[in-house]
Amino acid sequence: MEVKESVTGNHSGRSIVKGEVTTKEKRNNRRLWTKEEDSLLESLVLRFGAGGWKILAKYFDERSSSQLRARWSHSLRCKDSKRPFSVQEDDYILRMHQRYGNKWSLIAKEMSNRSDNSTKNRFRAL
């Protein structure tokens, strides 16, 4: 076992044992989605439907099924969710939150092109 740094030193997320990669280092290897990847994901979802992310991940070299699901759910599924919320949507969010609490996917399901995440963020801004 080869020690990279002193055990008492600051490791900055690096492993003490040579060759090991810590979770912090793995997180730093993230890369942005390309337009080509977004287009491929959109076309695959149109062809096969949303879900079955492990199967869809086979079409991507460096993306996991959970990354595909997150990208679809939070970015691509509701592309026009960047538009401002209407007064009616705000009222709906407040009423449904009183009824269902923090069940954002349930609340967002009845809204037109709003993700659970954007609905939650809007509630917190109100």
The candidate with the shortest Cα–Cα distance to 70, out of 84, 58, 89, 53, is 53
Name the CATH superfamily, with its identifier, for domain 81-125: Homeodomain-like (1.10.10.60)
Place of tokens 């759910």: 73
pLDDT higher than threshold 50 for residue 42: yes
Task: Please check whether the two domains, 32-77 and 81-125, share a CATH topology.
Answer: yes
φ/ψ of 3, rounded to 5, equals: -90, 130
- Between 8 and 35, the more confident residue is 35
41 class by beta-carbon count within 10 Å (0-12 exposed, 13-18 middle, 19+ buried): buried
- pLDDT tens readout for residues 109-124: 888 778 888 899 999 9
The CATH classification number of 32-77 equals: 1.10.10.60
pTM of the model: 0.53
- pLDDT tens readout for residues 72-126: 887 787 765 678 899 999 999 999 999 999 999 899 888 877 888 889 999 999 9
The residues spanned by each domain of the chain are 1-30, 32-77, 81-125
The contacts found for 45-48 with CB under 8 angstroms, 24 or more apart, are: 45/72, 45/76
Q: How far apart are CA 67 and CA 60, in angstroms?
A: 11
